[in-house]
Amino acid sequence: MPARNRLAFTMLCLSLFLIPALQLVRELSRRSDIWWTPQTMLVPLAQSADRVEIYVGGTPLATLLERGQVRVGGETGSAVLAADQVGLRFNNWDRVRAERIPRLLLYAAGCGITGVLALMVATGRLAYRGETAP
């Protein structure tokens, strides 16, 4: 393969390498502290039972709220806390991390394949040798 063609194909392989490599770097450099439930979308205590249970003194918080045994003190005195006044925020980083594993593996495979292809073209291992007469 002529040197000019080898250089062109090597540059093409390297540019194709950059596509998954940049995506891989972008995924791995993302902040991991942004996956909390937004403050405006707090999950009510009744709807969060499948993900979390809160106990106070060995008794579930929902039971204490139903009985009116939880009070909140303020500047004007104290008031009984109702169940609809309790909201929870969740950190969804574990779910996001599990969802992005297949994508990261795909990007890594793309980097590996195009890197090997670029290396083979640059060293002349994929050069056309022509047919030989028997």
31 plus 96 within the same structural domain? yes
Q: Are residues 96 and 86 in the same domain?
A: no
Q: pLDDT tens digits, residue range 67-109?
A: 988 888 888 888 888 888 888 888 888 888 888 899 899 999 9
Task: Say yes or no to pLDDT of 127 above 70.
Answer: no
**1 pLDDT band (50/70/90 cuts)?**
low
Confidence of residue 10 (pLDDT cuts 50, 70, 90): confident
Structural domain boundaries enclosing 53: 37-90
The number of beta carbons lying within 10 Å of the beta carbon of residue 44 is 13
Of 37-46, 81-90, 124-133, give the lowest mean pLDDT range: 124-133
Residues 65 and 82 sit within 8 Å (Cβ to Cβ)? yes
Query: What is the tally of structural domains in the chain?
Result: 2
Contacts of 53 (CB under 8 A, 6+ apart): 60
Tell me which residue has tokens 């390297």: 14
First-to-last alpha carbon distance for the chain, in angstroms, is: 23
Judge if 96 and 81 occupy the same domain.
no
With beta carbons less than 8 A apart as the criterion, state whether 39 and 130 touch. no
96 and 30 in one domain?
yes
Amino acid found at 33: D
Whole-number Cα distances in Å, 130 to 90, 108, 119, 127: 63, 34, 21, 9
| Amino acid in position 17 | F
Entry pTM: 0.55
Q: Are residues 11 and 43 in the same domain?
A: no
Q: Report d(CA 9, CA 131) in Å as an integer.
A: 22
Give the pLDDT band of residue 129 (cuts 50, 70, 90): low
